[in-house]
Amino acid sequence: MGLQRRTDPQRRRHAWLRQPRKTDAIALGFDVVHYSLQDDHVHLLVEATDRRALSCGMRRLVIRLANRINAVLRRSRKGKIWGDRYHRHDLASPSEVRNALVYVLHNGRRHGRVAADELDDFSSARSFACFADLPRDPVNDGLAPRTWLLGIGWRKAGALRTTDTPRLRVSPSRAS
């Protein structure tokens, strides 16, 4: 483990290469399939082979995002950019997955950043090739889901449209 010094033939100088870790193989079971970036939070639809792959993948994602944000902002100091937590909810049915897709792809509408007839530029909605009312070229699609539910199973719960709007959750105490 650790860094190993090797000569980089293209740069003609020494480069430090990281040795593979056990967590690299575990992280291969983790993919971010859809996302929505908001002002102070992120919504993700991810696929993970198990809890360990999810935990490892989220940890790696957070570290990479923090490093990129620090590089873009040219921050010389180091510190927290990301909170220490995430909320996980396992999706088990086609209707749950369809509702989650609507929520993530159109979350900008819920926060008032996107008009009802537009797609959110800060989400993966533009790479989603399965909107029923929008002809798409599936060749330029984003990351293809590996699971049946996120790949095609959600279609059993109804078509997704560009005009769908995420619903606000009603707490059980107020639903009466």
Question: Mind listing the pLDDT tens digit for each residue in 17-33?
Answer: 555 566 566 667 888 99
Q: How far is the C-alpha of 91 from the C-alpha of 120, rounded, in Å?
A: 23
Could you read off the pLDDT of 79-117 as tens digits, one per residue?
677 776 778 889 999 999 999 999 999 988 888 888 878
* Residue 15 confidence (pLDDT): 46
Cβ density class 142-162: b for 16+ within 10 Å, e for less = eeebeeebbeebbeeeeebeb
Token pair of 150, please? 């996120």
Q: What is the pLDDT of residue 92?
A: 92
Tell me what the mean pLDDT of segment 166-176 comes to: 54
pLDDT exceeds cutoff 80 at 76 = no
Question: If you search the block for the tokens 């995002």, which residue do you land on?
Answer: 65
The residue among 159, 160, 124, 161 whose CA lies nearest residue 143 is 124
Q: How many other CB atoms are found less than 10 A from the CB of residue 40?
A: 6
Q: What is the mean pLDDT of residues 142-147?
A: 76
Give me the pLDDT at residue 13, please. Answer: 47
pLDDT attached to residue 129? 82
| Angle made by CA atoms 141, 64, 111, in degrees to the nearest 5 | 60
Which region among 9-13, 45-49, 162-166 has the lowest average model confidence (pLDDT)? 9-13
Q: What angle do CA 12, 16, 19 make, to 5 degrees?
A: 135
Burial of 97 (0-12, 13-18, 19+ CB in 10 A): buried
Q: pTM of this prediction?
A: 0.74
